Amino acid sequence: MAEFALEINNLQKVYDNNVVALKGIDLKVKKGDFYALLGPNGAGKSSTIGIIGSLVTKSGGTVSVFGNDINKDLNKAKSLLGVVSQEINFSQFEKVLDIVVTQAGFYGIPKSIAMPKVESILKRLSLWDKRNVQARTLSGGYKRRLMIAKAIIHEPKLLILDEPTAGVDIELRREMWSFLKEINKNGTTIILTTHYLEEAEQLCRNIGIIDQGSIVANTSMKDLLGTLNVQGFVFDLHQPLEKAPTIEGFPLKLEDPLTLIAAVNKDRSINALFSELTKLNIKIKSMRNESNRLEELFIEMVNSNEK
Ligand code: ADP
């Protein structure tokens, strides 16, 4: 079997309205990995997942699932893959049990064989008691679980989830984490996208960061957290600037002419930055802390990307 669960080369996506969503990304995810694809809104995460799951057509590049190119061996690739996208992909008027049994049928699993599997999956996802209700009556978190049940009924070797816990309350989120950990331990490779760095920290071994259609970092979670010793600061300026000043030791970025963002290493004093800005006659109206760690990470990554 192939070494990689997923191998993407030079993947490009241009939408009909000429939006360039993916600028030729490369990505390799090892068998058995628990991988996070992180990125801000609009970075290209859903486009990537949509292409892997054949819901979105690509404009260029290749995608292979366990060595099966989706252009050449689509059926084989699909049989090894489960995708949980963000959009509801079941009939809201069907019953929970019927939805999962029907899905098994799509993979050629006869009902007699599917039934015990469906029962065990629905039980594991706390959906068994709700098996005879119409899907539309489920809460958001349970609908998400139903989508997971649908995606794993054929026991895929690679499971990809697009923001599996977005909008899900913290208790359900933790339950979902433990479920995902369990199936990863049992050999399923998992890739997920998330906004929550905590989620990635809890679950993932390796991580890719995508920004504006390009991969800007590909590393292990452990290494990444080790480098995360940078604090982001946002300065509101009195007078507009045309470009960010260059101050040694303090990477600076202009968000707009009146907003300057600084990445300050933990071992450096913010006062030193203040006095350098004063020397350059840059007057600060107010300053705030970038509180989101993921944001800080982007400042750091994107800065080092631009160097
Ligand atoms: P993410 O999942 O990281 O938020 P997306 O892949 O959804 O990013 O979007 C990447 C870019 O492609 C964005 O600029 C978005 O507006 C654009 N985009 C996404 N889907 C479509 C579409 N169906 N038609 C046109 N543009 C799209």
Mutate to test the pocket of ligand 1, among 13, 19, 163, 209 (most ligand atoms within 8 A of CB): 19
Which of 197, 225, 253 represents a domain boundary (last residue)? Answer: 225
pLDDT higher at 227 or 256: 256
Q: Which pLDDT band, with edges at 50, 70 and 90, does 292 fall under?
A: low
CATH code (residue 35): 3.40.50.300
CA distances (Å), origin 190, targets 31, 84, 107: 9, 11, 20
Residue with tokens 């859903």: 46
- Nearest of 127, 157, 178, 139 to residue 118 by alpha carbon: 127
Over residues 163-218, the pLDDT tens digits come to: 888 878 888 888 889 999 999 999 999 999 987 777 888 899 999 989 899 998 88
The verdict on 164 and 234 lying in the same domain is no
Residues 169 and 281 in one domain: no
Q: Residue 78: which residues within 8 A CB-CB, separation 6 or more?
A: 54
Q: What is the pTM of this model?
A: 0.77
CB neighbours of 40 closer than 8 A, spacing ≥ 6? 211, 298
How far apart CA 191 and CA 197 sit, in angstroms, is 14
Give me the pLDDT at residue 296, please: 58
C-alpha–C-alpha distance, residues 13 and 11, integer Å: 7
- Same domain as 11, residue 50: yes
My answer on whether 77 and 195 are in the same domain is: yes
Contact, 238 vs 284, CB < 8 A? yes
| Ligand 1 pocket check for 47: Cβ under 6 Å | yes
Mean pLDDT value of segment 44-51: 94
Four-CA torsion 115, 99, 89, 57, nearest 10 degrees: 50
169 in the same domain as 63: yes
Contact 247, 240 (CB under 8 A): no
Q: How far apart are CA 32 and CA 35, in angstroms?
A: 9
- How many structural domains does the chain have? 2
Give pLDDT tens digits for 85-102.
888 889 999 999 999 999
Ligand 1: nearest atom to the Cα of 47: 6
Q: For position 294, which CATH number holds?
A: 3.30.70.1560
* pLDDT score of 20: 97
45 lines ligand 1 (CB under 6 A): yes
The length of the chain in residues reads 307
Residue 114: its pLDDT value, please?
92
Instruction: Mark whether 214 and 260 lie in a shared domain.
Output: no
Judge if the beta carbon of residue 209 lies within 6 A of ligand 1: no
- The last residue of one of the domains, among 225, 259, 282, is 225
Q: Which residue's alpha carbon is at the smallest distance from atom 17 of ligand 1?
A: 21
C-alpha to C-alpha distance for 135 and 297, rounded to whole angstroms:
39
Question: With 60 as the cut, is the pLDDT of residue 295 above it?
Answer: no
pLDDT of residue 67: 96
Residues 210 and 240 in one domain: no
Q: Are residues 246 and 188 in the same domain?
A: no
Find the 104 Cα to ligand 1 centroid distance in Å. 31
185, 206, 225 — which closes off a domain? Answer: 225
Atom of ligand 1 nearest to the CA of 40: 3
39 lines ligand 1 (CB under 6 A): yes
Which residue, judged by its Cα, is nearest atom 13 of ligand 1?
Answer: 42
* 44 within ligand 1 shell (Cβ under 6 A): yes
> Which ligand 1 atom is the nearest neighbour of the CA of 13?
12
DSSP assignment string, the chain: --SEEEEEEEEEEE-TT--EEEEEEEEEEETT-EEEEE--TTSSHHHHHHHHTTSS--SEEEEEETTEETTT-HHHHHHTEEEE-SS--S-TTSBHHHHHHHHHHHTT--HHHHHHHHHHHHHHTT-GGGTTSBGGGS-HHHHHHHHHHHHHTT--SEEEEESTTTT--HHHHHHHHHHHHHHHHTT-EEEEEES-HHHHHHH-SEEEEEETTEEEEEEEHHHHHHH--EEEEEEEESS--SS---BTTB-EEEEETTEEEEEEETTS-HHHHHHHHHHTTPPEEEEEE---HHHHHHHHHHHHHH-
Q: Do 209 and 166 belong to one domain?
A: yes
Residues 123 and 165 in one domain: yes
Domain of residue 64, residue span: 4-225
Which ligand 1 atom lies nearest to the CA of residue 56?
A: 23
**Are 52 and 159 found together in one domain?**
yes
Which positions ≥6 away from 229 have C-beta within 8 Å? 265, 266, 267
Measured from the Cα of 15, ligand 1's closest atom is 25
Are 90 and 162 part of one and the same domain? yes
Cβ(36)–Cβ(196) below 8 Å: no
249 contacts: CB under 8 Å, gap ≥ 6: 265, 268, 272
- Rounded distance from Cα 213 to ligand 1 centre (Å): 10
Pair of tokens at residue 238 = 């009195």
The pLDDT value recorded for residue 186 is 95
Q: For 60, phi and psi rounded to 5 degrees? A: 180, 165
Average the pLDDT over 145-157 and give the result.
95
Percentage above 70 pLDDT, the chain: 93
Compute the distance from residue 47 Cα to the ligand 1 centre, in Å.
Answer: 6
